[in-house]
Amino acid sequence: MNKVINLKGIKISNNHPLVFMGGTCIIESEKHYAQAAKDIKKIVNAYSKNYVLKASFDKANRTSLKAFRGPGINDGLEILAKVKKDLNVPVIVDVHEPWQAETVAEVADILQIPAFLCRQTDLLLACGETGRVINVKKGQFLAPGGVENIIKKIESTGNKNIMLTERGFSFGYGDLVVDMRSLAIMKTFGYPVILDATHSVQKPGGLGNATGGDSKFAPILAKAATAIGIAGIFFEAHPNPECALSDGPNSLRYEELKKMISQTTQIDKLVKKFK
């Protein structure tokens, strides 16, 4: 049975139209983030009404100690609240520690569990107890069947607003691979399944002191995943990936984003005609 999440007029499930969740990797500055969010919303809305803005106020797992992490929780949420209001969009925000859950939930519509933290019980429970929608990114080390235990932890709080996201599996050193069977397996639990198209093409630590990636493969993975019949596509996009302060190598250029959304939307309409 496909469970349906209602999010500000958007129905999220594996048999409803695709939802697109995306934005820049990190809040680089208030001005930069606000303009990028506006541009990306316009691109998505040209093909779909189902858009959720992605935001990170702190990238706590950067490769290098000297890497830019973001504005922090207080300034970050202040910026996000303003952009959310101006653009009238729901937002999805990373949560790294249990104490952050309640504070982030005051602004965010969806709390996102980073992949490396997907088995952290206290974090899952704290997020679940907020009552917000919880998006769990499946760890790069975890088999798809392993998400069942994660689901049970969140459900124990009484919260059944859960989404599951595939973002690649560790493939040797410094590379990831997406096993499309993972999406089908996670769908058996009934909850909406998302593909994180751009993090799936990362090369962790591939640049020595930073993570590399190959964004040209992101649209290919997105189209393949859409053909399976999933709930949504997660992505990161940037007006100038070479200058991005985080995840530039795997971020989509705006022209690439337009093409990806156009094509996946068409594939999705065809696939969901079939039962």
Residue 38 CA to its chain's centroid (Å)? 18
Residue-wise pLDDT for 70-97, tens only, equals 999 999 999 999 999 999 999 999 999 9
Structure confidence by residue, pLDDT tens digits, 248-264? 999 999 999 999 999 99
Average pLDDT of the residues in 231-238? 98
Phi, psi torsion values for 57, nearest 5 degrees:
-90, -15
Domains, the chain, ranges and CATH? Answer: 5-271 (3.20.20.70)
What are the Cα distances from residue 138, in Å, to 31, 70, 193, 211?
Answer: 32, 23, 11, 19
Contacts of 6 (CB under 8 A, 6+ apart): 12
pLDDT bracket for residue 274 (50, 70, 90): confident
The mean per-residue pLDDT over the stretch 161-171 comes to 97
Q: State both tokens at 189.
A: 């639990």
